[in-house]
Homo-oligomer: A and B are copies of this chain.
Amino acid sequence: MITENFIGFERSAQGENTYSAVNPVTQETLPGAFVAATMEEVNLAVNKAHEAWKVYRNTSGAQKATFLRTIAEEIEGLGDTLVNRVMEESGLPEGRVKGERGRTCNQLRMFADLVEEGSWVNAIIDTAQPDRQPIPKADIRNMLQAVGPVVVFTASNFPLAFSTAGGDTASALASGCPVIVKAHESHPGTNGLIAEAILNAARKTKMPDGVFSSLNAIGYQVGTALVQHPQVKSVAFTGSYNGGMALHKLAADRTEPIPVFAEMGSVNPIFVLPGIIKTQSEALANQIAGSVNLGAGQFCTNPGLVVIRQDENTEAFMENLGSAFEKLAVQNMLNQGIYQNYERLKKESLQTAGVTTVADQSNDGENWEAYPAVASASAAEFLMNPNMQQEVFGPFSLVVQCEDEEHFYAVADHLHGQLTASIMGTQEELAGYADLFDTLQTKAGRVIFNGVPTGVEVCHAMQHGGPFPASTDGRFTSVGTGAIKRFARPVAFQDCPDAMLPAALQADNPMNILRLVDGNWVR
Contacts and interface: CB of A to CB of B under 8 A. Distances in A.
A463 B449 contact: no
Chain copies in the assembled complex? 2
A472 to B, nearest CB: 7
B58 A475 contact: no
Contact of A442 (B57, B431, B444, B463): B57
Interface in A375-433: 417, 427, 430-431
A334 to B, nearest CB: 23
Contact of A494 (B119, B135, B448): B448
Contact of A521 (B259, B455, B492, B514): B514
Interface residues of A, number: 73
A482 B475 contact: no
A315 interface: no
Contact of A462 (B140, B147, B252): B140
Most buried by B among A141, A457, A494: A494
Given A490-B463, A491-B463, A521-B521, A457 B496 contact: no
A353 interface: no
A125 B434 contact: no
A137 B477 CA distance: 19
Interface in A129-171: 135, 137-138, 140-142, 145, 147-148
Contacts of A126: 457, 459-462
B461 A140 contact: yes
Interface in A243-281: 248-249, 252-253, 256-259
A462 B492 contact: yes
Interface of A: 54, 57-58, 119, 124-126, 135, 137-138, 140-142, 145, 147-148, 248-249, 252-253, 256-259, 417, 427, 430-431, 434, 437-438, 441-442, 444-451, 455, 457, 459-463, 467-469, 472-475, 477, 482, 488-497, 499-500, 514, 516, 519, 521
Given A468-B256, A475-B147, A444 B494 contact: no
Contacts of A445: 489-492
A258 B417 CA distance: 13
A447 B492 contact: yes
Contacts of A140: 446, 457, 459, 461-462
Given A142-B463, A441-B491, 13 more contacts: A126-B459, A142-B462, A252-B253, A259-B475, A445-B489, A447-B493, A448-B495, A449-B494, A449-B495, A451-B495, A461-B516, A475-B489, A475-B490
